[in-house]
Amino acid sequence: MKSTRTIFSAIQRKEILTQLQAKQFDLLVIGGGVTGCGIALDAATRGLSVALIEKQDFASGTSSKSTKLIHGGLRYLKQFEIGLVRETGTERAVAHRLAPHLVLPEKMLLPLIEHGTYGKLATSFGLKVYDILANVKGKDQRRMLNKKDTLALEPLLNEKVLKGSGFYAEYRTDDARLTIELIKTAARKGAIAANYCKAENFIYEEGKVKGVQCKDEISGEQFEIKAQQVVSACGPWVDKLRKINNSLEGKRLQLTKGVHIVVPHEKLPLNYSIYFDVPDGRMMFAIPRGKVTYIGTSDTTYSDNLNRIIVTKEDANYLISAVNNAFPSIHLTMEDLISNWAGLRPLIHEDGKSPSELSRKDEIFESDSNLISIAGGKLTGYRKMAQRIVDLVIQKRDDLAFVSCKTRDLPITPQPLADSNAVENYIKKLKAQVAEHDLAPYYAWYLATTYGTQADMILEKMPTLEANSKEIQLLRAELWFSVQHEMVQSITDFFVRRTGRLYFNIESIAPALEVLLADLQEYLAWDNQRLTQERERMQELIHDATYYYAEEMVAKSA
C-alpha cells in the first residue's frame, strides 16, 4: 500500500489557518489559479517561506474554464507574437515531461478550406515555424495532407469546401487538476496554502505592503497574514486588488468571455482534435475527450459578474452554428448540449483592438507600495511566469542570495509516471483492476489521466466503502482521497475541479449526490444548514452548466 501520509488534508484546515498567522513569510501569494500555485511552487523550491490564499477553491477562476490545451498558440504566429509562441511552445514539452499522465500528446488537424483563415502555403510555413520555435522533433513534426488523406482521418469534415489540412502536435490537459497538483507539490515543499480565504485589504509598514487582512470564507473569521513581499496573481480580479492598493493606474485589464459547450462523443464523434474556421473569421477547437466532445471558444468583451459567468443562448448558438458549418452532417441543436463552462481571459487593454486581437502575453505591475501583480498569459506558460515573478521577488530582497529556478525538472505529482509509454502501461494495468471492480473500461482512462498513480489509493479504498452501485462506490473513494489529500471543502470542489465530472460525466452526479453529501458532512463536521447550502450550490452549478440564459437575465445577475 502506498503512503497515505496527508499533507494537504481538508481535515487539517484549522491547523493551516493557524500556521498562516504564526510568522512573517518571505512571500504571500494571493490567488490560487495556475499562476499563483505555480509561483508558490517555484518560490518554495527556492527556499522561500511561502503562503498562498485563494478566496474560493483552487482553480475556481479562469484556471478551470480554459480550452484545456497545453499549446503554443498557433494563431499568435499570425499576430507575430514570436516570443509568446516560442515560450509556450517550448513549455509544452516541459509540462508533458513533468506530468505525463496529465499533459497528454494530442494530434491536431487544421482543415484548409476555400476562403479559410489559413492558405496552404501559409499553413505549411506557419506550422513549420511553430515546430522550429517549439523544438518539435521526429514524427511529431507537422505534416501537410491532401483532401483525400484528410477525409480519411476525419470523414465528418465538409467535403465541399475542404482542400487539405495541416496535421500537427499539441498537448491536452485538465487545467484544474494541473493547478491542484501544483499547489499539492508546493505544500510538500513547505508552502502553507488555504482555499476559501479572501484577501480583503493590505497591511502597510512605512508605506510598503507587508501582508493582508483576510477573511475565512467558511467561518467568517478575519485574520492577518504577514509577509515581506506580496504578489497578487488574481487573474480577472487583479485590478480589484490594485484598486484596494490605490495603484490602479496606467495599463488595465480588459476581460473577455470564452464559452465552451459539451456534447456526447457519439453526437460529434471526432477521431482527432480539430482547429477549424468559423464564418466570422475566427478559429475554434472541437476536442474529443473520453465520453464527450467539447467545442470552444467564443471571445466577447465582458464586464458583468466575475464570480458567476453564465452562458447565454446567443453564446451557445454561436458555437452550435460554427460546428454545423464545419461538420455539415452533424446538425447539432441546443438539445444535444449536455454541459458547458465559461471563463474570463484577463487581457491587457489596447485601444482599438477587438477581443481576439488583444495580446495573450502576461504583464507584471509593480506598485509604489511594493505590491507585485501578474495577469494575462497562458496556462501553458505558468512555469515561466512563476520563474519571472520569483526572480523579481528575490532581487527585491537585499538579504536573500539569488537561487535559480528549480521547477524545470521537478515532477508535479507524487510517484510520477516516466513518460507516455508508462501512462499507456498504467492504463492497461488499471483496465484489469477496474474490470475486477465491475467498472467500465472508461474508468481506467479516467482514473489514470485524472490522478496518475494516486489512482492506486482510490482503488484500494473502494472495497472498504459501501454503496449500492460500483460507480457510487468509486465516487465515495475518490471523495475520501480528495478530502484527505486535495483540500476539498465543498461538494462543488469535488464535482467541478477535482474530478471534472460537471463537464465530462455530468450524468454521474445526480445518483451519487446525497451519498457524497452525507460523507462530506461526516468528514468536515457540517451542520444541517451547511449541508443544505452545499446541496443548493451544487444544484445551482448543474443548472448553470445545462441552462442557456437570455441576454436580459445576464444583465440582472450582474
CA 294-312-158 angle, 5° bins: 40
Check residue 172 for interaction with ligand FAD (CB under 6 A): no
> What does DSSP say about strands 50-53 and 143-146: parallel, antiparallel, or unpaired?
unpaired
Check residue 72 for interaction with ligand FAD (CB under 6 A): no
Check residue 355 for interaction with ligand FAD (CB under 6 A): no
Q: Which string of x and - marks every residue 493-532 that binds ligand FAD (by CB under 6 A)? A: ----------------------------------------
> What does DSSP say about strands 50-53 and 192-194: parallel, antiparallel, or unpaired?
parallel
User: Which residue number, 50 or 234, has a Cβ lying nearer to ligand FAD?
Assistant: 234
Q: Where does this chain touch ligand FAD (CB under 6 A) — which range of 115-123, 229-237, 411-419, 454-462?
A: 229-237
Please report the DSSP string for 395-442 in residue order: HT-TTS------GGG--SSSS---SHHHHHHHHHHHHHHHHHTT--TH
Q: Which residues pair with 262 in a beta bridge?
A: 294, 339
257: cell is 468571455
Q: Of 62, 165, 229, 367, which one interacts with ligand FAD (CB under 6 A)? A: 62
Check residue 56 for interaction with ligand FAD (CB under 6 A): yes
User: Which residue number, 307 or 415, has a Cβ lying nearer to ligand FAD?
Assistant: 307
Check residue 490 for interaction with ligand FAD (CB under 6 A): no
Check residue 55 for interaction with ligand FAD (CB under 6 A): yes
Check residue 195 for interaction with ligand FAD (CB under 6 A): no
Q: Of 45, 60, 254, 450, which one interacts with ligand FAD (CB under 6 A)? A: 60
User: Which residue number, 287 or 330, has a Cβ lying nearer to ligand FAD?
Assistant: 287
Least Å distance, CB 76 to ligand FAD, is: 11
Count of C-beta atoms within a 10 Å radius of residue 496: 23
Closest CA to 545 of 481, 495, 486, 475: 495
Write the CB contacts of 546 (distance below 8 Å, at least 6 apart in sequence). Answer: 337, 338, 339, 340, 506
Cα-flanking dihedrals φ and ψ of residue 421, to 5°?
Answer: -65, -45
Check residue 33 for interaction with ligand FAD (CB under 6 A): yes
Integer CA distances (angstroms), 337 to 9, 69, 296, 320, 477, in order? 35, 21, 13, 9, 29
Q: Where does this chain touch ligand FAD (CB under 6 A) — which range of 58-66, 180-188, 269-277, 509-517?
A: 58-66
Q: Where does this chain touch ligand FAD (CB under 6 A) — which range of 7-15, 29-37, 264-272, 505-513?
A: 29-37
- Report the C-alpha gap between 403 and 277 in whole angstroms: 46
Q: Which residues pair with 203 in a beta bridge?
A: 211
Check residue 462 for interaction with ligand FAD (CB under 6 A): no
Q: Of 10, 20, 34, 316, which one interacts with ligand FAD (CB under 6 A)? A: 34
Q: Where does this chain touch ligand FAD (CB under 6 A) — which range of 55-63, 120-128, 439-447, 507-515?
A: 55-63
Least Å distance, CB 261 to ligand FAD, is: 12
> What does DSSP say about strands 162-172 and 69-70: parallel, antiparallel, or unpaired?
antiparallel
- Report the C-alpha gap between 456 and 99 in whole angstroms: 17
Least Å distance, CB 269 to ligand FAD, is: 22
Query: Half-sphere exposure of residue 521, counting CA atoms within 13 Å on the CB side?
Result: 15
Residues that bind ligand FAD (CB under 6 A): 30-36, 53-56, 60-63, 65-69, 71, 198-199, 233-237, 241, 258, 297, 343-345, 377-380
